[in-house]
Amino acid sequence: MATTSTNIPVVSHSNDKMNHIFAFVVLTFLADMSTDRQLPGRVKWVTITILAYGLLIEIVQWQLPYRSFSFADMGADLFGILLYWGGSFIAYPHLKRLL
């Protein structure tokens, strides 16, 4: 959807920024689960990589005549990343005890 010029029907109650937040929570989760937990700087590496991906999407959209670059979208992306890390650092010790 990031680069299409097709008018895709969006659910009326859907919020674009919430979609960004949710997508980047999921992307950060997937990137975190695919890296070694013992890797030094894992949190920083995953955060920078996923945020760079979000920036790349915005740069591509900036080049398209029917899309635009949005700092608000980048902020929502970063919030989703930070939301994942906050939740994981709170939940991980509790999940570790259960397993």
CA-closest candidate to residue 27, choices 10, 60, 49: 49
- Whether 12 shows a pLDDT value over 50: the answer reads no
pLDDT at res. 3? 67
pLDDT at res. 59? 94
Mean pLDDT of all residues in 82-97: 86
pLDDT at res. 94? 78
Structure confidence by residue, pLDDT tens digits, 39-80: 899 999 999 999 999 999 999 999 988 888 999 999 999 999
**Contact of 65 with 85, CB cutoff 8 Å:** no
**So where are the chain's domains?**
16-98
For the chain, the average pLDDT equals 87
